[in-house]
């Protein structure tokens, strides 16, 4: 539709579609933000680390100063956490900034994307006028990446995006398959971007991270997000790891003020709170199993077992659709992510974050009522 009209889902045409649209729910239903149970955004249910909140409160007067354009303290903290040298790290306004930055820097003509996945890869490719080559992830194989098909699709591809763990499917590529993907890109001469934004929720995340490999060789960039694991979506904070020569090039392209002074301080404080990360992983390990089995008990629901802090569910055998479920739960002040906009999914799928036990129980009860209503 034209003339600023919205589609039947309430979205403006051409606008990116993501979870976490609490403001839209406030406008539609007249609620207060604190009244909403938001399962549509995959954010740590513990909230920001206490040390982060204390740091922000103590340093509010710092907003009268410009932020450090080189993010020196933040880069040191990130480098120590990721076990790479600071010269291999670039700090950004969320991981999304870096997705667009790498595409604009490399200007690829053909981009490979394994879908369904995060929509910003495709949008970023479009800004460079690149042709997108799609590798379809199949529900019959639980959306696991087929490495042989990946190799076949690489012909003529100059840049490839891989999300690991993948959003919205929650799949984590096995280490040997991950190595095969890296090697295939090296042989083909395709630049590889691996998005590890949700990897921190995995207890053995260091085994799967390619940060050290990216820092040591050219041809690869690792994306990381502090937004999800540290519950900082309002501050916007992410980073990338690559060979120092590429990082220097990207720094030359980046807006020097994109990471504000409070975000830099919050990042340093968050990375220092190791106890918070331990509590987070314990909670997610316990609650994802509770929520997964609760979803599996609902008639016609087929959840895909999660590796991280969110669950994708197929409701094609329930007689319901994700838009209908989203609308029914919306009336109860609960938001879920209708996955209709993801290529390869459609209206049979929804995604839900893993929150704490009370919230997860409320979600399951609301879903049960929605099923019984049909």
Taking the C-alpha atoms of residue 9 and residue 125, their distance in angstroms, rounded to an integer, is 25
Domains and CATH numbers, the chain: 22-47+275-373 (3.90.1150.10), 50-273 (3.40.640.10)
Could you tell me if 46 and 276 are in contact, meaning their C-beta atoms sit under 8 angstroms apart? yes
Element at 159 (helix H, strand E): strand 159-163
Q: Provide the β-strand partners of residue 334.
A: 37
**Residues 369/357/345/23 CA torsion (nearest 10 deg):** 90
Taking the C-alpha atoms of residue 315 and residue 96, their distance in angstroms, rounded to an integer, is 30
Q: Which of 209, 231, 210, 237 is nearest to 276 (CA)?
A: 231
Phi first, then psi: give them for residue 179, nearest 5 degrees: -60, -40
pTM of full prediction above 0.75: yes
Q: Which of 195, 226, 230 is nearest to 211 (CA)?
A: 195
Could you tell me if 67 and 260 are in contact, meaning their C-beta atoms sit under 8 angstroms apart? yes
Q: What pLDDT is stored for residue 19 in this prediction?
A: 59
Could you tell me if 163 and 192 are in contact, meaning their C-beta atoms sit under 8 angstroms apart? no
Q: What pLDDT is stored for residue 97 in this prediction?
A: 96
Element at 239 (helix H, strand E): strand 238-242
Could you tell me if 121 and 113 are in contact, meaning their C-beta atoms sit under 8 angstroms apart? yes
Token representation of residue 26: 């406030």
Residue 57's Cα: distance from chain center in Å? 27
Taking the C-alpha atoms of residue 184 and residue 87, their distance in angstroms, rounded to an integer, is 27
Q: What pLDDT is stored for residue 296 in this prediction?
A: 98
* pLDDT tens, the chain, 374 aa long: 223 333 323 334 345 556 556 667 666 766 766 778 999 999 999 999 999 999 999 999 999 999 999 999 999 999 999 999 999 999 999 999 999 999 999 999 999 999 999 999 999 999 999 999 999 999 999 999 999 999 999 999 999 999 999 999 999 999 999 999 999 999 999 999 999 999 999 999 999 999 999 999 999 999 999 999 999 999 999 999 999 999 999 999 888 899 999 999 999 999 999 899 999 999 999 999 999 999 999 999 999 999 999 999 999 999 999 999 999 999 899 999 999 999 999 999 999 999 999 999 999 999 999 998 87
Q: Which of 280, 198, 259 is nearest to 74 (CA)?
A: 259
């Amino acid at each position: 539709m034209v003339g600023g009209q919205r589609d039947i889902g309430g979205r403006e045409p051409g606008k990116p579609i993501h979870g976490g649209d609490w403001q839209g729910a406030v406008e539609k239903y007249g609620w207060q933000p604190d009244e909403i149970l938001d399962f549509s955004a995959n954010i740590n249910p513990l909230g920001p680390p206490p040390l982060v909140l204390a740091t922000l409160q103590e340093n509010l007067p710092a907003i009268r100063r410009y932020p450090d354009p080189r993010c020196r303290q933040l880069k040191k903290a990130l480098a120590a956490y990721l076990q790479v040298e600071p010269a291999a790290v670039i700090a950004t306004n969320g991981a999304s900034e870096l997705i667009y930055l790498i595409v604009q820097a490399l200007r690829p003509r053909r981009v490979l994307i394994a879908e369904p996945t995060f929509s910003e890869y495709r949008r970023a490719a479009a800004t460079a006028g690149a042709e997108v080559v799609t590798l379809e992830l199949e529900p019959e194989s639980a959306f696991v990446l087929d490495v042989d098909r990946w190799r076949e699709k690489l012909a003529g591809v100059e840049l490839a995006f891989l999300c690991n763990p993948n959003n919205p499917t929650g799949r984590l590529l096995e280490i040997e398959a991950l190595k095969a993907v890296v090697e295939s890109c090296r042989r083909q001469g395709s630049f590889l971007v691996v998005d590890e934004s949700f990897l921190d929720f995995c207890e053995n995340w260091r085994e799967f991270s390619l940060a050290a490999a990216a820092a040591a060789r050219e041809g690869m960039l690792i994306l990381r997000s502090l937004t999800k694991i540290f519950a900082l979506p309002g501050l916007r904070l992410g980073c990338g790891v690559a060979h120092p020569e590429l990082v220097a090039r990207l720094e030359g392209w980046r807006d020097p003020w994109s990471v504000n002074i409070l975000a830099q301080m919050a990042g340093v404080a968050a990375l220092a709170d190791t106890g918070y990360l331990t509590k987070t992983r314990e909670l997610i390990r316990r609650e994802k199993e509770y929520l997964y089995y609760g979803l599996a008990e609902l008639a016609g629901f087929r959840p895909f077992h999660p590796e991280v802090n969110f669950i994708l569910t197929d409701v094609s055998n329930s007689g319901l659709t994700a838009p209908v479920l989203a609308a029914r739960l919306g009336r109860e002040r609960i938001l879920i992510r209708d996955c209709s906009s993801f290529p390869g999914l459609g209206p049979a799928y929804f995604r839900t974050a893993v929150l704490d036990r009370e919230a997860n129980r409320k979600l399951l009860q609301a879903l049960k009522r929605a099923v019984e209503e049909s």
